[in-house]
Amino acid sequence: MTNKEDEIMQAFDGKLVGLTVMKKWVCKTLAAMNDEIISFVTTNCWFVTSMEDAWGFTFTGNDLKNMHLIFLSESLFEQTQKQIQYSIAHEIGHIMLGHRNSTLVRQGKQEIAHQEMQADKFAKSFGF
């Protein structure tokens, strides 16, 4: 890991939970982003390794008291470097773009599709 990636790991202060490979990829992906994003994510987000089928899922809502949970599947880390970083950046995009999904909010298919497109664009803006 680079010095910047090590600094990011320390800034999470225990909010990276699960596989070591997940922790390294999250830090490597964030290192490509600006300091404002790094600071927000390391302060307000938890990343958790999951055994779910979906490669990534973000849970954000009023019921989390302004914290964000990003679940990343173990199977994601069997993919290519570009796919791994793209998926992580996509999930970070949901948070940075203010997308909400919680047990208190119902979303229509069009709104979900629009949010997915925005998160895709966010991830692509970093070259992933």
pLDDT of residue 16: 97
- Confidence category of residue 27, pLDDT binned at 50, 70, 90: very high
Model pLDDT for residues 90-103, shown as the tens digit of each residue:
999 999 998 876 55
pLDDT of residue 19: 95
Name the residue with tokens 């890991």.
Answer: 1
Measured distance CA(26)–CA(84) in Å, rounded: 9
Domains, the chain, with CATH or none: 3-124 (1.10.10)
Q: What is the mean pLDDT of the chain?
A: 89
The angle formed by the CA atoms of residues 82, 84 and 85, to the nearest 5 degrees, is 65
Measured distance CA(70)–CA(45) in Å, rounded: 7
Model pLDDT for residues 72-126, shown as the tens digit of each residue:
999 999 999 999 999 999 999 999 998 876 555 566 788 888 989 999 999 999 9
pLDDT of residue 51: 77
Q: In this structure, what token pair is assigned to residue 39?
A: 């600071």
